[in-house]
A and B are shown apart, each in its own frame.
Chain A
Amino acid sequence: MLKFLFKGLVRDRSRSLFPILTVFIGVALTVFLYSYLNGFVSDMIKSSAHYNSGHVRIMTKAYSQESNQSPNDLAIIGIDPLIQNVEKSYPDMIWTPRIKFGGLIDIPDRNGETRIQGPVSGMAVDLFSKESRERKFLNLDESLVKGRIPEKPNEILIADDFARRLKVAPGDTATLLSSTMYGSMVMTNFVIAGTIRFGIAALDRGAIITDISDIQKSLDMNNAAGEILGFFKDDNFDSKKAYRIRDSFNEKYKNSEDEFAPIMGALPEESGLSDYMGLIDIASFVIIGIFIFAMAIVLWNAGLMGSLRRYGEMGVRLAVGEEKGHIYRTLILESIMIGIVGSFLGTLFGLIPSYLMEIYGLDLSFLFEKSSVMITGVLHADVTYETYLIGFIPGILATVLGTSIAGIGIYKRETAQLFKELEA
């Protein structure tokens, strides 16, 4: 039966070509948009995790309430035992301390006087430990424009755009003017080891990266850090696991009234992405829904036109005694076959630009020049297992839906009228 229907579709192209083309275009667009949205969310999660909040983040309760200001006076003191503790309790995670700080970078002239200054936002991370994955998380080696990664104490990396504005190069001295954990003004001389381009406008405007031990010394933060970030070892964010770890950690401190007791937050809430991620999930469904709806209308119309063209064929089939239900079912079966073929081709052609965009990305950094959102300027698609299947939902649903509506006309044919119609 299936073979018979398939042959019919192949031989009578007017029956299959237009519906397959419709499904093909709709599915290709669905697949591409789905992988683009996936990539957008995935880029956002990765950037936020790597540059901001980790997959989970430990802070003091007081710090967490003002975490967007990175208040180092409210930092965690005694990070070593806390890190040992979480490493033991959650061995699937990598734990790393970070200090975010603000201040002014002052570049001296030959006489040691101020030549130029600029406001700076800094991040102190573990650059020197062998087991540290911070270089990878922050993509430092690939982002290096000039010079090298810091190897010795008191060396910094500076955003390349910022370095150009300050007219400095690797080897130059820069003085950081900032505040200690206790609020005193502090000045520290650093040597610029290299310049980097983060690809994130908010950081490229004026960021520096230094080893955490230098900043602990400079900001009077011995064995202290603003935040301890936790990353899943495979670097893939797992929302359920992250929330489970957060809940189990916070359970231990829930009765503590100390404002400096530690508290853990998970990435979506810490990065403010939870609403955003929810919105994008809804957007994916809406896009797929729109395609199903639009394609169903087009295919319904195609089905109606096909019914007109195949009016005689249906009449003969009814006249020779074929049941209306049987004809209706064969039409649905035909539509499923069209849906499968169209979805297959559409998925194939949707995946090609998706893969290209996953590998090469689309540079929209000019749109984010003034943005403070932690997102890379080069957008990538993300092809997942779901991407291979997602197109089949609108592809098959729309054809079946369109044919189901158009096919209802079969039941309106009067057997008594058939011979008159056929004679005519």
Chain B
Amino acid sequence: MKKLIFIMVILFAGALIAQPSADEIIKKVDANTVTDSQIAISKMIIKGRRGSRTVEAKTWQRGSNDSFTEYLAPAREKGTKMLKLGDQLWTYSPSTDRTILISGHMLRQSVMGSDLSYEDMMEDPLLQNMYNSKIIGEEKILDRPVWAIELTSKKDDISYDRRKVWVDKDRYIILKEELYAKSGKLLKTIDIHEIKKFDGRWVATSLTYKDVLKDGDGTQMQLDEIKLNQRIPDYILSKASLRR
């Protein structure tokens, strides 16, 4: 009997040790998300009330703060560039040959008509910096066991006061996300359809980003190509490269 109790205690303790805390899960999610650098080619398929259109872009990203995006298609957007350095965002349009700082209410505008706003682009991708986390359940998504975690903001000046994320238990990647306003209203949803492994990291290669307050079927984002931990020359992440 004593042996049985001893074994049960060991098993229970083992189970406690095996179950990471919400903060640990989010740290691992962040570690999987943020790379030293990456170069990616992606597509946004924007489904609006008048049909859909596809926008293609190439992005150079360094760390979690700096990125440079050049739009490749369609013809009307080709050559438009965006540069994010820290908390500042510039855009360049070849037709006007102007570089403009996007600020104020323009940050709330949608990126190329998608369900994503510039504010979304400006967010710190490290969840641990912005939110406190709490495990609220365990479920299955895409046939994979996940933790449902509630994130509540640590700061006031944050776009989404609360988030719910569903994290793959084995791969530490978010498979579903819901973003809420301070009032508790659901604003946006993200559903991952496909993930792939690149250089030992799990990356979402197909997902749907939906602004719940907008009509349409959301924006499908598709990652066509990604190279992780590439050397990105300094000139690319500079304002001079916008006009280049």
Contact = CB atoms under 8 A, between A and B. Distances in A.
Interface in B76-117: 76-77, 80, 91, 93, 95-106, 109-114
A388 to B, nearest CB: 52
Interface stretch (B29-37, B47-55, B132-140): B47-55
A187 B98 contact: yes
B176 to A, nearest CB: 25
Interface stretch (A110-118, A122-130, A278-286, A390-398): A110-118
A250 interface: no
B73 to A, nearest CB: 12
B167 interface: no
Contacts of B101: 114, 117
B100 A186 contact: no
Contact of B100 (A114, A183, A184, A259): A114
Contacts of B221: none
B110 A183 contact: yes
A203 B95 CA distance: 29
A108 B98 contact: yes
A188 B53 contact: no
A103 B104 CA distance: 11
A259 B49 contact: yes
B148 interface: no
Contacts of B48: 73, 182-183
Contacts of A104: 100, 104-106
A113 B91 CA distance: 11
A113 B99 contact: yes
Nearest to B92: A187
B146 interface: no
Contacts of B103: 117
Contacts of B100: 104, 106, 114, 117, 175, 177, 187
A74 interface: yes
B112 A183 contact: yes
A189 interface: yes
Interface in A129-147: none
B105 to A, nearest CB: 6
Contacts of B109: 179, 185
B113 A188 contact: no
B46 interface: yes
A199 interface: no
B50 A73 contact: yes
A104 B93 CA distance: 15
Interface in B1-60: 46, 48-50, 53, 55
Contacts of B106: 103-104, 177
A260 B49 CA distance: 10
Nearest to B98: A175
Contacts of B93: 186-187
A44 to B, nearest CB: 29
A119 interface: yes
Nearest to A187: B93
Given A73-B48, A112-B97, A189-B98, A184 B104 contact: no
B97 A183 contact: no
Nearest to B55: A184
Given A113-B99, A179-B113, A184 B77 contact: yes
A180 interface: yes
Contacts of A113: 99
Interface string A223-239: 00000000000000000
A378 interface: no
Most buried by A among B50, B77, B112: B50
Contacts of A185: 80, 91, 109, 111-112
A103 B93 CA distance: 15
Interface in A178-227: 179-180, 182-189, 220
A62 B48 CA distance: 13
A112 B113 contact: no
A186 B104 CA distance: 17
B106 to A, nearest CB: 5
Contact of A187 (B50, B91, B105, B111): B91
A223 to B, nearest CB: 14
A119 B55 CA distance: 26
A220 B76 contact: yes
A183 B114 contact: yes
Nearest to B93: A187
A160 B109 CA distance: 27
Contacts of A220: 76
B88 to A, nearest CB: 11
Given A184-B112, A186-B93, A74 B99 contact: no
Given A175-B96, A175-B98, A180 B113 contact: yes
B83 to A, nearest CB: 13
Contacts of B110: 179, 183
Nearest to A104: B106
A99 B96 CA distance: 22
A119 B53 CA distance: 28
Interface in A82-109: 103-104, 106, 108
B77 to A, nearest CB: 6
Nearest to B105: A119
B98 A112 contact: yes
Nearest to B74: A184
B97 to A, nearest CB: 7
Given A108-B98, A184-B76, A187-B100, 17 more contacts: A62-B49, A104-B105, A112-B98, A114-B99, A117-B103, A175-B96, A177-B91, A177-B106, A179-B113, A182-B46, A182-B50, A183-B114, A184-B55, A187-B93, A187-B95, A187-B96, A259-B49
7 contacts: A104-B106, A119-B104, A119-B105, A180-B113, A184-B55, A185-B109, A185-B111
Across the A-B interface, give the 3 residue pairs with the lowest CB-CB distance, nearest first: A183-B113, A187-B93, A187-B96
